[in-house]
Chain A
Amino acid sequence: MRLRLLFFLLLIAVINACKKDDEQSVAPGIVNTSLNIEISYEVDGQSLRFDTSGYTCDAGYNYSVSRLWYYLGNVCMIRQDSSLELLKNFHFADAADASTSQIAISNAKEESYIGLQFLIGLDSLHNQPGYLPATSQNLNMEWPVMMGGGYHFLKFEGHFSDSSGLHGFAMHLGTNNALGKCVIYHPILIQSGTNKLRLAMNLNEWFRNPFLYDFNIDGNYSMGNMAAMMKLSQNGNDVFIVK
């Protein structure tokens, strides 16, 4: 009788031990709340297509886009009382790489927010030489130490045409002075389960408001040109909308 009981107990113990891992992965009664911020790109309603001319900026030039790399920093939700809830310190995005067009926030809080805000670039803590992980993306965004160090906030490059022909443009932003901030007031309700938020960047806004940006007047190359970078930085404050 004892032997029989011993075998039985042993069998149960072994079966239980085998099951434990499976059971841990499915915790009953707990549903993760996550937020997926999806970013798309457009030019006044047209979807962005790289290296395709046909876009027109407010200064009147036709242009195409060959590169769009940037950081979003301190991505926060704005609570009802205007306090901020930090979701992510920084996010690198390459508009040509769909895998970077999503910001996945696991363990989001179920709450009703009045909007979100983020930097286009990195705050001064992160914008230091070698501060970010040495990924290829971050290394390619480095801002040379000899020019102040840290990282490019934005690389927006392409070609434009005027009466004299085709030219390149390279709108590069960097340095703490040229850090832009987007504040978007839009009711956002985070509920249990998976939530989605769609953001769209309208590239023409970089050249529109509050300053009309003209490649031939303000410069088709902004790096090292603080006046051009300050205009772009302020124009960048409303390049994103919630879709």
Chain B
Amino acid sequence: MNELVLTLGWLGIYAPMALGAAASAVGCSIAGQASIGAMTETEGGYGRFVGVSAFPSTMVIYGIVIMFTLNRDVTP
């Protein structure tokens, strides 16, 4: 039983970071593809696409922050 509780504790601490990273990867790929598609259609103003492509990385950054706030010794 103790092992299960410990595992759940570690999961809880690191899940925000892991899930955030997965979400950011999916989001960045979608946004990046959309930006490249839009870039072929427009002239100039590419700076905005850089911003849009980097938008979804916010999830993993908040994940890191949450992970650090929760970070502590896990005791059963």
Do they bind each other? no
List B residues at the A interface (Cβ < 8 Å). none
Chain A contact residues, CB within 8 Å of chain B: none
